[in-house]
Amino acid sequence: MLFYEGLHYIGDELANRCDDVNIVYGFRHPTTLNLSESSQVFDLYRDSEDEDYIKMSVALWVRDDNPDLDSGYAKLAELERRFFDAIQAINEELWALEGEGLFIADNVQLLTIEVGSTAGATESLWPLFGSETKLNLRIYKHREVSNG
């Protein structure tokens, strides 16, 4: 199964581009993240996988103790902007390879990252604000050729 390689590739790339954001793996309830007012989290977890895609979700979390909810939503919106900018930058690097893709596992190339829907995280409850975005990693699996 390739989900592990896909999750960690995206997590490593996000960590390099957003080095002040904590990266965690596996669905976690936001109350277990120990968020402070200054911390932010990208929580990556597995969805499904098929011949052409590794699918995952990324939950983005911030904390804002201000009772004016607009303040928390503004923090979340800024974190979402940074997340989408990072995904766009990763895609631009992949596209610059002109179809060659990037190997994330033996005989498996990552061709592009398709961004799916984004929605408010159902676990959001003041002072924790979150959203969830679906990512589809388009892959190409090279077939091993036997010499016999």
pLDDT given at position 3: 87
Helix (H) or strand (E) run with residue 129 in it: strand 128-141
Q: Average pLDDT of the chain?
A: 92
- How many distinct structural domains can be found in the chain? 1
Confirm whether 146 is domain-assigned.
Answer: no
Count CB atoms within 10 A of the CB of residue 110: 23
Residue 147 has pLDDT above 90, yes or no: no
Whether 80 and 60 have beta carbons less than 8 Å apart is answered as yes
Q: Domain range holding 128?
A: 3-141
| pLDDT tens profile 46-74 | 999 898 999 999 999 999 999 999 999 99
Confirm whether 122 is domain-assigned.
Answer: yes
pLDDT given at position 65: 96
CATH of the domain at 87: 3.30.2000.30
Whether 132 and 114 have beta carbons less than 8 Å apart is answered as no
Confirm whether 148 is domain-assigned.
Answer: no
Confirm whether 116 is domain-assigned.
Answer: yes
pLDDT given at position 108: 87
